[in-house]
Amino acid sequence: MPWRNGGGLTRELLAWPSPQDWRCRLSVADIASDGPFSAFPGVARHFVVLEGDGVALAFDGEPIEQCPSNAPLVFDGALTPSCHLLGGPVRDLNLMIRGGSGGMAAVLPGAAWQAPVGAQAGLFARVPGRWRNGTEALTLPALGLLWFDTPPPGDWRFEPDAPATPEAPVGWWLHHIPEGITP
């Protein structure tokens, strides 16, 4: 679907509890040209670049560069930073939280991760591989999402099909703790 401001395209992967009244939203966006981000008042935005050289987002004239190797940038969705492409089109991942809390953490191949208590949680795989939890395993394609409203307990791991490179994480652990839930 086109962005609210017409500056790019977004593929919505998850809108919980519904697309019309979401509290947690995950999307992959393609940015093809410079321009401002859309405003999402009351939303905490978590943003990472998946592919491309990156972007410079200007908040009050101060640019912050985001490249595939950077940690997530978290900012107030009411802000509409101007976006400048650093070398051509990029693809990014957005976790947006309205009410409650949430977060993203880079996947380290084979390293254990646990979903926070009371959270909905999942894995966004930038590259193909396998999610494991004990003896349970699921195969994910590149740019695939695995999401649990009630996550299974234990240590989660992701094993990419190809060796990891320092240019970008192989995926992102994601979580959302709805309002009123105390971890």
| DSSP state letters, 118-136 | T-EEEEEESS-EEEEETTE
Asked if 66 contacts 57 with a C-beta cutoff of 8 angstroms, the reply is yes
Cα(132)–Cα(157) distance, integer angstroms: 5
- Computed over every residue of the chain, the mean pLDDT equals 93
Count of structural domains, the chain: 2
Domain boundary (72, 97, 122) is at 97
| CB-based contact 141:124 (threshold 8 Å) | no
Same domain, 69 and 115: no
Give the residue carrying structure tokens 């966006």.
Answer: 29
Shared-domain flag, residues 87 and 117: no
| Residue 81 contacts residue 34 (beta carbons within 8 Å) | no
Answer whether residue 2 is part of any domain.
no
Is the separation of the CB atoms in 28 and 92 below 8 Å? yes
Give the pTM.
0.92
58, 75, 97 — which closes off a domain? Answer: 97
Residue 83 belongs to a domain = yes
**Of 2 and 125, which is predicted with more confidence?**
125
Instruction: Quote the CA–CA distance of 180 and 178 in Å, as a whole number.
Output: 6
pLDDT of 67 strictly over 60: yes
CA angle 112, 117, 121 (to 5 degrees): 65
Domain CATH number, residue 146: 2.60.120.10
Question: What is the token pair recorded at 83?
Answer: 């976006």
The pLDDT tens digits of the residues spanning 101-117 come to 999 999 999 899 999 99
Return d(Cα 175, Cα 177) in angstroms, integer. 7
Q: Which residues pair with 97 in a beta bridge?
A: 24, 44
pLDDT at 183: 57
Shared domain check, 135 and 70: no
Provide the domain limits for residue 129: 101-177
pLDDT of residue 110: 85
79 in any annotated domain: yes
More confident position, 80 or 165 = 80
Helix (H, G, I), strand (E, B) or coil at 95: strand
Q: How far apart are CA 145 and CA 124, in angstroms?
A: 5
